[in-house]
A and B are shown apart, each in its own frame.
Chain A
Amino acid sequence: MALGKKKMTKAQKIILLVILGIAVITIFAITAVSEDKSGTTVMRQGIAVENGRCNVYPIQNALEIKENGTYQIESKWWPEEDVGFVTGLYILGPSGEEIFAETANKMDSQSEKMKLEAGTYTIHLEYLTSVAEEEAFWKEHNLTSDNGSAFQFAENGEWIVEYSISFNRIGISAITWGVIFGFIVGIILVYILRLVINTGESSKSEYDERQILVRATGFKYGFVALALFNILIGMLYVIEMDIPVEIGVLLISGVILSIMVSVTYCIFREGYFAMNEDRKRVVIAFSVILVFNTISIIINAKSGTIVNNGKLAVGSLNIVGAIAMVYVLIIIAIKAFVDKKED
Chain B
Amino acid sequence: MKNLNLKSARAAKDMSQDDLAKLCGVSRQTINAIEKGDYNPTIKLCREICRTLGKTLDELFWEDEE
Query: In chain B, residues 4-43, which have Cβ atoms closer than 8 Å to a Cβ of chain A?
Result: 25-27, 29-30, 33, 39, 41-42
Main secondary structure of the interface of A (DSSP, over half): loop
Which residues of chain B are near A270, meaning CB under 8 Å?
27, 29, 33
Cβ of A82 < 8 Å from any Cβ of B? no
Cβ of B45 < 8 Å from any Cβ of A? yes
Which residues of chain A are near B27, meaning CB under 8 Å?
207-208, 210-211, 270, 275
A209 and B29: CB pair below 8 A? no
Interface residues on B, range: 10 to 19
Distance A279 CA – B39 CA, assembled complex (angstroms): 23
**Please, how many residues of chain A have a CB less than 8 angstroms from a CB on the other chain?**
7
Query: In chain A, residues 164-220, which have Cβ atoms closer than 8 Å to a Cβ of chain B?
Result: 207-211
Most buried by A among B25, B27, B42, B44: B27
B39 and A208: CB pair below 8 A? no
Further 16 A-B residue pairs, CB within 8 A, beyond A207-B27, A275-B27: A208-B25, A208-B30, A208-B45, A209-B26, A209-B30, A209-B41, A209-B42, A209-B45, A210-B29, A210-B30, A210-B33, A210-B39, A210-B41, A211-B27, A211-B29, A211-B30
Report the 9 A-B pairs with minimum CB-CB distance, sorted nearest first: A208-B26, A270-B29, A210-B30, A275-B27, A210-B39, A208-B30, A208-B27, A209-B42, A209-B45
Q: Give A contacts to B, CB under 8 Å.
A: 207-211, 270, 275
